[in-house]
Amino acid sequence: MIVKTLKEYFGYDSFRPLQEEIINSIFKGQDNLVIMPTGGGKSICYQLPAIVLPGFTLVISPLIALMKDQVDGLVANGISAAYINSSQEGKEHQEIYQKLIAKELKLLYVAPESLSFLVTVISQVEISLIAIDEAHCISAWGHDFRPAYTQLGYLRNKFTKTPIIALTATADKATRQDICDQLNIPHAIQHLASFDRPNLRLEVRPGNKRIEQILNFLIDKPNDSGIIYCLSRKTTEQLAEKLQSQGYKAEAYHAGIEHQKRTQVQDQFINDTLQIVCATIAFGMGIDKSNVRWVIHYNLPKNIEGYYQEIGRAGRDSLPSYTLLFHSYADVIQLQKFANMSGNKEVQLAKLDRMKQYADSLSCRRKILLSYFGELIQEDCGNCDVCTDPPSIIDGTIIAQKVLSCVARVNEEEPIGIIIDILRGAQNAVILDKGYQSLKTYGIARDIPWRDWQQYIIQLINQGYIEIAFHLNNKLKLTELSKKVLFNSEKVKLANLAEFDKVKELAIEELKTPKKDTLFERLRELRLNLAREAGIPAYQIFNDATLREIEQLKPTTDEEFIQINGVGKLKMQNYGTKFIKEVIRFSEQKTNKPKRAHKNKGNSYKKTFELYKNGLSIEEIAIERQLATSTIYTHIQKLYEEGEDIDLHTLISKDDLIAVRKAKNTLNSPDALRPYFDHFDQAMEYNTIRIALTIINDEVNQE
C-alpha cells in the first residue's frame, strides 16, 4: 500500500490533494503534467514512485543548489539518490555511474546541460520514470526560460515506454500546452491543484515608516526565518545594515554580490544560522526551505505572478506564516517607468494594474489573488487584513472636492506632491516661486497629515476621480467623474485612515508575545545541534510542523514517536531517542520535579496505579506525582495493556467516545492518531483520542 511507503520513507500519514492520484497514474504507465503551487508537495509525486518502481528514476532539475538539497533530504530519509552536475570531478561521476549500473540508485538528479554525457550509461540500465521538475523552464511563455530545457523533447523518442512526469508551479494555459508539445507528451494527464495557500496570512500596509513597521513586526519573531524583497540592490544593503544594527542576523543578497558570498548567505539561511535575507527577486528560486515563517515586500512587486511565487516561499510546511506587502505611491511611479521602457509595454502595464488593484483592495485579498489564477472562491478567506480588520468607510466628498478643485486651479499642471503642499499651506521654494500661496485652495486642509493626503488621493485615483498622466511627469488630471463631484455633488466614499492605523497597531500589539522557554524552542535547539553534527539543513531533520506535533503530543515512547507526522523509519532510528529524551526532560523540569531518574520504570507505574486505585483522576495524579498529565496517561495506558484492572471508560466522556467511534468509520480506520486530531479540528486531545481507540479496538478484539 502506498500510504505505508509514504509513512515509512517520508514520515507522513496521508497524502496532500492530488498526490495519490498522480502517483497511481504513474503506476499505470501514463504521462502526467502536474501544476501545483510552490510548497504544494510536487516532489513526492515522483519520489515515492521512484522507491517502488523496479528501475531508477531520472530527475531533470535546473538548479544545482536545489538538487543537492533534495538529494540530501532523500538520503536523510533512507532513499538512495545522487546528482550529477558540472561542479563535480570526473571521478565522482564514475562512482555514480557504477552505482547506477549496480542498481544501487533509486533516483538520479541531473541538470539538462549534463544530460547528453549520460545517455550511454542510462541506456544500459532499467529506467522506470523520468521526472522533469520546474518544467515551465522549457517554455518561452513561462517566466524563467532556459534554453537547455528545449532539448528534452528527445527523451520521449529515446525511452518510448518510460512514463514522463512534468511538474511546475506556473499555471497559465499557454505555458501548459507548450510544455506538453515540447516534451512530446500530448496525452499527458493534467493535474491542476488549487492555488490556495490558506496558511499564508495576507496583509498590505501603507509604505510609510517601513523600517519602524518592520522592527515592530519582528518583535514577536525573534527566531523565525524570513525574507524581505526589495526593488533595488541598494535598499537590500541598507536594510540589512539597519537590521544588523538592531541586533538581527540579517544579510543582503542580490546578483551584484560575488558568488561565494551569495552561496554563503544562502547556506546560512537554509541552515537556520541566518535569520533574515534582504534580497532582490534573485533570491529564493534555488531553495526549498520549508520553515520560512514570513515574507515581506518592501516594495510593490511588478505583477501578481511574481508576488505569489515570492510569498509562496513562506510556510511550505503548512504552518501559519505571515506575508506583508508595503504599498507606496513612489513604487508605482517607478514600476510604471520600468514597464514603459520594456518591450511588451501594454502587457506589463496591465499586469502592474492588477497588482495595484490587489494592494488597494477593500474586499477579501485572497479572492482577488485566486481569481487571477482562474479560481473562484465563494467565501471570504478570513485570513487577510481586509477580512479581519475591514476598513470603515467615511463620507469623503469634501476631501475629494478640496483635492479636485486644487487640481483644477493649477490647470492640471502639477503632480501629487505639490497638490498636497498647496492643500497643507507649505512654504517651500516651488510653491512661492509659482505664486501658489495666493490660490483659494492654499492651506485649506492643514489638519490632515501629509501621508494621509497621499493615501486619500491614491484612493481617489483608484476610484477614477483623478488620473495620473505618467507620460507628463505624473501630473494629476481631472476625469469625467471629477466633474460629477465638483459640479453635481456626487458623494465619494473613502476608507477611514485614522481607524485603519489604529486597528493595525492593535493587531501588532496582540502579536507581541515574548519568546518563552517552550518545548518547541528546546526541540528546535536540539534539531539545530543535530543538523550541525550531520552537516545538513535543520529542516531536513524534521520540519517545524513535525516539531509542533511533538510539542503537542509529547511522545515518551518509541511507539508514540513513530506516530508523529513527519517521522519515518530511518529518522525514528536516528533521532527518536534524542527527541524523546528532550520531551521527558522538559516535562520533568516544568513540573519542578527534583532531579531524580526513575531507577525502575515499573516502580513509577506502580505509584500511578496505586493513586488511580485510590480514586484520583489523571489530573490529580499528575499533581500529586509532579508529572505531566500526558505521562500519566501513558502510564495508565501501559498498565491497561499489561492487563491491570483499569476501567478506561472513567477517563473519557461518553460524547467523546461516540465522536471517535464515528470518526473511525468516516476515516476508514487509519493507523495513526493524526487524522483523528485533524478531523476534530485539533480540538480533541491526543490522549483522549488514544484512550477512545484503545477501548474501541478492544471491543473489536473481543467480538
Instruction: Find the binder of ligand ADP among 251, 305, 317, 385 (CB under 6 A).
Output: 317
Instruction: State how far the Cα of 91 lies from the Cα of 196, in Å rounded to an integer.
Output: 45
Which H or E run includes 521? helix 519-534
43 contacts ligand ADP (rule: CB under 6 A): yes
Q: Which of residues 673-692 bind ligand ADP (CB under 6 A)?
A: none
Strands 493-495 and 250-253: unpaired
What does 163 bind: ligand ADP, Mg ion, none (CB cut-off 5 to 8 Å by kind)? Answer: none
Exactly one of 25, 32, 38, 299 binds ligand ADP (CB under 6 A); that residue is 38
Residue ranges in 50-79 that form contacts with Mg ion under rule CB under 5 A: none
Interaction partner, residue 322 (Mg ion, ligand ADP, none; CB < 5-8 Å by kind): none
For helices 519-534 and 569-590, the axis angle rounded to 10 degrees is: 140
Distance of closest approach, residue 1 Cβ to ligand ADP, in angstroms:
15
Which residue shows C-alpha cell 499528575? Answer: 622
Residue from 128, 235, 290, 323 touching ligand ADP (CB under 6 A): that is: 290
373-395 in b/e burial notation, b at 16+ Cβ within 10 A? beeeeeebbebbbbbebeeeebe
Q: Which does 16 bind (CB under 5 to 8 A by kind): ligand ADP, Mg ion, none?
A: ligand ADP
C-alpha 47/C-alpha 205 separation (Å) is: 40
Site for Mg ion in 4-43 (CB under 5 A): 42
Using the contact rule CB under 6 A, the part of the chain among 31-39, 74-82, 100-108, 480-488 near ligand ADP is 31-39
| Binding letters toward ligand ADP, positions 613-652, x by CB under 6 A | ----------------------------------------
Binding mask 170-209 toward Mg ion (x if CB under 5 A, else -) reads ----------------------------------------
Q: Which stretch binds ligand ADP (CB under 6 A): 33-41, 143-151, 172-180, 674-682?
A: 33-41
CB 367 within 8 A of CB 474: no
| 36 touches ligand ADP (CB under 6 A) | yes
* 290, interface contact from Mg ion, ligand ADP, none, CB < 5-8 Å by kind: ligand ADP
Report the residue number, 243 or 295, with the smaller CB distance to Mg ion. 295
Q: Looking at beta carbons, which pairs linking 451-456 to residues 24 or more positions away fall under 8 Å?
A: 451/206, 451/208, 452/497, 452/498, 453/420, 453/423, 453/424, 454/329, 454/416, 454/420, 455/206, 455/497, 456/396, 456/399, 456/403, 456/494, 456/497
Angstrom distance (rounded) from CA 475 to CA 419: 10
Q: What is the C-alpha to C-alpha distance for residues 543 and 70, in angstroms, rounded to an integer?
A: 14
3-class secondary-structure state, position 223: coil
Give the nearest distance from C-beta 43 to Mg ion in angstroms. 5
CB closer to ligand ADP out of 42 and 402: 42
Is 33 or 403 the residue whose CB approaches Mg ion more closely?
33
Report residue 639 as a C-alpha cell: 498498565
Listed ranges 38-46, 343-351, 554-562, 669-677: which one lies at the site for ligand ADP (CB under 6 A): 38-46
Number of residues interacting with ligand ADP: please give it, by CB under 6 A.
Answer: 17
Max CA pair span of the chain: 97
From the list 35-43, 198-206, 294-302, 601-609, the region that binds ligand ADP by CB under 6 A is 35-43
The letter for the amino acid at 274 is L
Q: Under a CB-based contact definition with an 8 Å cutoff, are residues 163 and 29 in contact?
A: yes
Which partner in Mg ion, ligand ADP, none is near 609 (CB below 5 to 8 A by kind)?
none
Minimum Å gap between C-beta 42 and Mg ion is: 5
- The CA distance from 678 to 668, in Å, is 14
The Cα–Cα gap between 425 and 332 comes to: 26
Task: Pick the piece of the chain touching ligand ADP (CB under 6 A) from 9-17, 203-211, 555-563, 643-651.
Answer: 9-17
Among ligand ADP, Mg ion, none, the one that 543 touches (CB under a kind-dependent 5 to 8 A) is ligand ADP
Q: What, of ligand ADP, Mg ion, none, does residue 544 touch, CB below 5 to 8 Å by kind?
A: none
- Contacting residues for 448 by C-beta, under 8 A, at least 6 apart: 399, 423, 424, 456
- Out of 178, 203, 251, 288, the only residue in the binding site for ligand ADP (CB under 6 A) is 288
- Within 674-693, the residues that bind Mg ion by CB under 5 A are none
Residue 508 in contact with residue 216, Cβ under 8 Å? yes
- Cα 458 from Cα 456, distance rounded (Å): 5
Q: Which is nearer to ligand ADP, 170 or 336 (CB)?
A: 170
For residues 166 and 185, the answer to whether their CB atoms sit within 8 Å is: yes
Task: Using the minimum distance from each CB to ligand ADP, give the nearer residue, 36 or 314.
Answer: 36
- Rounded Cα distance, 44 and 219, in Å: 36
Q: In what helix (H) or strand (E) does residue 510 lie, and over which residues does it extend?
A: helix 497-511
Q: Which is nearer to Mg ion, 42 or 674 (CB)?
A: 42
Q: Which stretch binds ligand ADP (CB under 6 A): 13-21, 23-31, 516-524, 526-534?
A: 13-21
Between 22 and 420, whose beta carbon lies closer to Mg ion? Answer: 22
**Binding pattern for the stretch 530-549 against ligand ADP, x by CB under 6 A and - elsewhere:** -------------x------
Which one, 321 or 543, has the nearer CB to ligand ADP? 543
Query: At closest approach, how far in Å is the CB of 364 from Mg ion?
Result: 28
Beta-carbon contacts of 26 under 8 Å, excluding residues fewer than 6 positions away, are 32, 45, 46, 49, 129, 163, 165
What minimum distance in Å lies between the beta carbon of 480 and ligand ADP? Answer: 47
Query: Does residue 42 bind ligand ADP (CB under 6 A)?
Result: yes
Q: Which of 231, 252, 408, 249 is nearest to 330 (CA)?
A: 231
How near is the Cβ of 41 to ligand ADP at its closest, in Å? 3
Which residues in 297-316 contact ligand ADP (CB under 6 A)? 316
Residue 61 within binding range of ligand ADP, rule CB under 6 A = no
DSSP string over 120-140: HHHHTS-EEEEEETTGGGG-T
State the minimum distance, in angstroms, from the CB of residue 545 to ligand ADP: 7
Q: Which residue has the cell 537590521?
A: 243
Give the integer Cα–Cα distance in Å for 657 and 655.
5
Q: What is the dihedral of CA 260, 266, 268, 271, to 10 degrees?
A: -140
Binding span for ligand ADP by CB under 6 A among 14-22, 154-162, 258-266, 618-626:
14-22
Segment interacting with ligand ADP (CB under 6 A) among 36-44, 275-283, 376-384, 664-672: 36-44
Q: Strand, helix or coil at 30? A: coil
Among 26, 33, 35, 44, binds ligand ADP (CB under 6 A): 44
Per-position DSSP letters for 299-350, written without gaps between them: S--S-HHHHHHHHTTS-TTSS-EEEEEEE-HHHHHHHHHHHHHSTTHHHHHH
Find the shortest distance in angstroms from Cβ 264 to ligand ADP.
23
Contact flag: residue 134 with ligand ADP (CB under 6 A)? no
CB 135 → Mg ion: shortest distance, Å?
Answer: 11
385 binds ligand ADP (CB under 6 A): no
CA distance 585 to 195: 42
Q: Which residues bind Mg ion (CB under 5 A)?
A: 42
Q: Which residues bind ligand ADP (CB under 6 A)?
A: 12, 15-16, 19, 36, 38-44, 288, 290, 316-317, 543
